[in-house]
A and B are shown apart, each in its own frame.
Chain A
Amino acid sequence: MLKCKINGVEVEVKEGTTIIEAFKIAGQKIAHYCWHPGLSVAGVCRLCMVEIKGQPRLQIACNTPVQDGMEITNQSEQVKETVRWGLDFHLINHPLDCPICDQAGECGLQDQYMEFGLYTPEMAEPKVKKHKVVDLGSKIVLDTERCILCSRCVRFTAEVTKTYELGIFNRGDRSEIGTFENKPLENNYALNTVDICPVGALTSKDFRFRQRVWYLQERESICTGCSTGCNIKIYFNEEGLFRIRPVYNEKVNGYWMCDEGRNIYKFVNKENRLLKAKKGRKGEWLEMEGGAAAKDVAHHFKSLDKERIALVVTGQFSNEEYEALFQFYKKNVGNDFVYHWINNKESFEDFDGLLLRGDRNPNTKGLLQKLEDYRYEQTWAHLEENLKAGKIETLIVAGPENPLWFPDLKEKVQQWGIQLSHLIWLSSAKVQAVDEVECLTWQIPLKTFFEKDGTYVNYQGLEQKSHRIATIVPGALSLSEAAHLMAGEEYKVDMAPILKGPKKNYYVHRRGYL
């Protein structure tokens, strides 16, 4: 361990730690754009200047390792003046776009100017003109005038995805980010470049211009897009969820997440949700509240032949929910016709080498463990046979939260509609096919991961807790709640706050650092 003093604060750091990392450890502020902990050191923005006692020349903190006994400061007048000028150099050719820039409110230039700048600009010359609104494909738009050439995005595509789409073209103040021969930037991690871009140069087509960031709240959660379980932050307000970004977790996802994972918020929003419980069949639906529907199932259950009931579960739920569901099943049905619906058999074992796994369920591991605990060992083929043979009359299905990953969804539901006399459908998603079945069906709306607490076990066997944030569909139940109610128990359903009312400015607190 090495001892050093950062702005007078003593810290101990590991051998090989750079000064900028020591600043972070010491909780001291330091201006920087090009450095990113998940990327190599570029040393190009020249903002992270520090003064080291005994060295006449200022050094950049990002490329200088701490030595034992070093005394480092960025509070001296010399450093402050250098940083002010460093910022001014960044700004002289930067367009005064803030009012129409999507980054405003979470922009590195704005934030660092407020922290380290605050000077009167000296620039009286015309600015360099560059390309605006450059289409980089289906996901990203580039504004090269706003770009400060920190090269983070270029390093990301070179070092993380190793796809090398981005480069800096031309030289000097004519330098521009671009792609070779205008090829699109389409890799499945491309949106990370939008996150790490300190300015509004790279913006996400999905998010841009939909909300001002100060109207958004943010909460941490776990991605349910696949069995990796990336740690995420969800940005939302009264109008719904708007975007997802990764949160650093050394053990799971590092600094990144995949682009497909960013889309899971869409399946939480009302448009894609089953909003009311329904009972009936094609053309004859009776709407009701979720709780009422579950109680109705309980009521009906008594008249069903228990040997002709089966349960289908997906890997989309939390450990706690599996436990409640299996308890319910054991007590109220008792047979072992419990089947694991594997949504995408062919690609289940795939892995893209970075994060995304073929198993597009957040908790397959948890489910398999529970199935084992309860000794439910039936195969899917067994279910198919029994269905064909007409041995199953009633199917309880704990269906998908994210129907995108269930390519066989429609086909299965249609088939069940013909083979069964009762279907008890539990899902948060709006699924057209279920509205068209001919057998007597209960559709019970479930909560999504955003609306409930739960534990998920990722592919490594790591347990991660996800917390209830807010309610999007009032009346939706968690699978546990549905299980208790279907068992006929008295049960009070717990609800997270419902988001309503006018948008408000959440920007009263300072946003985090770059």
Chain B
Amino acid sequence: MEVKVLTKHYDKPEYRSLEGYKKYGGYEVLKKALGMKPEEIVAQVKEAGLRGRGGAGFPTGVKWGFLPNNGEPRYLVCNADEGEPGTFKDRMMMEKAPHQLIEGMLISAYAIQSKKSYIYIRGEYMEPYRIVEKAIQEAYDAGFLGKNILGSGFDHDMDVYRGAGAYICGEETALLSSLEGKKGQPKLKPPFPAVEGYLRKPTIVNNVETLAAVVTIVKDGPKEYRKYGTEKSPGTKIFSVSGNVLKPGNYEVPLGYPLKDLIYNLCGGLKPGRQLKAVIPGGSSAPVLTAEEAERATLDYECLAEMKSMLGSGAVIVIDDSNCMVDLLKVIMHFYHHESCGQCTPCREGTGWLDKIVGSIYKGEGRLQDIQLVEQVSKHMMGRTICALSDAAAMPAISFVQKFRSEFEFYVREGRSKVKEVIANA
């Protein structure tokens, strides 16, 4: 069963407008929050155990707690770049409920005492951009944004900034570089954004879904929030399911939900006659699970970590037995090769190298040692770079060749796919 906490009113078209949003209790939580002490809100978010929905799953309240008390202006930035292949939940949230995001941002901004926030939105998201822009205008007109919000004395301004389509600009420090008008590439850490971020001022970057969830936490309290989910992964989460299922789409379920239920119940299962072969549980950066692992997996941070994969952004890509793993890895490697910003040598050279090796195998020109080489190269790309894109490229590569080695070996020996009769002449 889906549990609709965040998406409760998403089926109502009027929810998109300020009028409609208010009809279902919109901005009431903001009123409540403005009557609370900022520290109280931070404490509630900590207590609720909310973990970042952008990919890393870092506890949000803890991150907010890293802000230094040095009197410097603070910024809040909403990461709406949604670049992780397979992920399309933020888009839906912004399209269906822009005011939910704005309210969540306002509460969060108040909690961290920030007077200015930005929504950094993926360049290709033209429609969500228009919707969010319009909603911000409505909020300004209604006095939810601007000076002395609801007579509380709290001022806040919000702006939308469109990216230009680079995946790397979803990484928070690259996002901040881009927001500053520079080339979108990650910054060396430390210092972390909470200490020195946008314009070298303390900055909190949070995902769309994370910020929206803050509304629920403050509304019902942390206890109620923890009613769903597991001890270490409290709350609900929206999963974007794509690939070989009958009903792909966004589904909100409590964390800890069995992956097989998501696939077979909510998503209607596979096409008739097809077998499950693999599942990528958290966006293309997450190590792939075999069918057997997928049957056992639950959708929470700890189970997937134990299986040496990750929940990531919650993009579940379902792969049935009609797919060739070499083909899929080739596509994934091409993506990371194209998207590496190129600063760090292991990532710049490694992503290109992996793309070429897998490409050679795909073209039927691979050598048996290339399979091992993929593993070796990947291994030395991990944990060595400024941001996690290098790891994000290496992890799928390692998992694909390790878990589907026989398919890769067949391809190298025979020069063709074990699965597909005809392969494209790449």
Decide if A and B are genuine partners: yes
Interface residues in chain A, defined as those with a beta carbon under 8 Å from any beta carbon in chain B: 41-47, 49, 57-58, 63, 81-82, 85-86, 89-90, 92-93, 122-126, 128, 148-149, 151, 167-168, 170-175
* Interface status of B396 (Cβ within 8 A of chain A): no
With A41-B188, A92-B353, A173-B352 already in contact, the answer to whether A46 and B346 are too (CB < 8 A) is: yes
- Distance of A244 from chain B, by nearest CB (Å): 31
* Contact between A89 and B349, CB atoms less than 8 A apart: yes
* A123 and B353 contact, CB distance less than 8 A: yes
Q: Which 9 pairs of residues, A with B, have the shortest CB-CB distance?
A: A173-B352, A125-B356, A85-B380, A175-B342, A172-B340, A89-B349, A43-B188, A172-B342, A44-B343
Which residues of B (348-401) have their CB < 8 Å from a CB of A? 348-353, 356-357, 360, 367, 370, 373, 376-377, 380, 383-386
Q: A-contacting residues of B (Cβ < 8 Å)?
A: 166, 168, 183, 188, 190, 337-346, 348-353, 356-357, 360, 367, 370, 373, 376-377, 380, 383-386
The answer for the CA separation of A149 and B340 in the assembled complex, in Å, is: 14
Residues of A within 8 A of B338 (CB): 171-172
Q: List 8 A-B pairs, Cβ < 8 Å.
A: A46-B345, A49-B384, A63-B190, A86-B380, A89-B349, A125-B353, A149-B345, A149-B348
Smallest beta-carbon distance B426→chain A, Å: 14
Is the pair B349, A171 in contact by a Cβ cutoff of 8 Å? no
Residues of B contacting A46 in the complex (Cβ-Cβ under 8 angstroms): 344-346, 384-385
Whether the pair A82, B384 counts as a contact (CB closer than 8 A) is yes
Q: How many angstroms from the CA of A57 to the CA of B391 in the assembled complex?
A: 14
Contacts of A174 in B (CB 8 A): 342
Q: Are A63 and B188 in contact (CB under 8 A)?
A: yes
Q: Which of B339, B352, B367, B377 meets A128, CB within 8 Å? A: B352
Q: Is the CB of A172 within 8 A of B386?
A: no
Q: Which of B168, B188, B341 has the most CB of A within 10 A?
A: B188
Residues in chain B near residue A125, CB distance under 8 A: 353, 356-357, 360
4 further A-B contacts with Cβ under 8 Å, apart from A89-B348, A173-B337, are A43-B188, A44-B345, A86-B380, A123-B353
In whole Å, how far is A24's beta carbon from the nearest beta carbon of chain B? 20
**Known A-B contacts A82-B384, A171-B341; A90 and B349 likewise in contact (beta carbons under 8 Å):** yes
How many angstroms between the C-alpha atoms of A53 and B22 in the bound complex? 56
Given A43-B386, A49-B384, the answer on whether A93 and B352 have CB atoms closer than 8 Å is: yes
The CA of A28 and the CA of B376, in the complex, are separated in Å by 29
In the complex formed, the residue of B with least CB distance to A89 is B349
Q: Which residues of A contact B356 (CB under 8 A)?
A: 125-126
Contact B384 A171 (CB under 8 A): no
Rounded to whole angstroms, the CA-CA distance of A173 and B190 in the bound complex is 25
Q: Are A92 and B349 in contact (CB under 8 A)?
A: yes
Cα(A90)–Cα(B370), bound, Å: 19
Query: In the complex, which residue of chain B has the Cβ closest to the Cβ of A57?
Result: B383
Q: In the bound complex, do residue B341 and residue A173 qualify as a contact, i.e. CB atoms below 8 Å apart? A: no
Is B188 touching A45 in the complex (CB atoms < 8 A)? no
Bound together, the chains give a CA A122 to CA B370 distance in angstroms of: 9
**Chain B: minimal CB distance from A472 (Å):** 44
Closest chain A residue, CB of each to CB of B338: A172
A313-B311 Cα distance, complex, nearest whole Å: 80
Query: A86 near B340 (CB under 8 angstroms)?
Result: no
**Interface contact A86-B188, CB-CB below 8 Å:** no
Cα–Cα, bound, A86→B344 (Å): 10
Chain A, residue nearest B353 (CB): A92
Residues on B with C-beta less than 8 A from A123 are 353
* CB-nearest residue of chain B to A40: B188
Give the Cβ gap from B37 to chain A, nearest Cβ, in Å: 36
Find out whether the CB atom of B345 lies under 8 angstroms from the CB atom of A170.
Answer: no
A212 to chain B, nearest CB (A): 28
Q: How far is the CA of A268 from the CA of B376 in the complex (A)?
A: 55
- A174 and B340 alpha carbons, distance in the complex (Å): 10
- State A63–B191 Cα separation when bound (angstroms): 10
The minimal Cβ–Cβ distance linking B141 to chain A, given in whole angstroms, is 40
CB of A171 within 8 A of CB of B353, answer: no
Report whether B380 and A82 are in contact in the complex, using a CB–CB cutoff of 8 Å. yes
Q: In the complex, A151→B357 CA distance in Å? A: 27
* A44, B346: Cα distance in complex, Å: 9
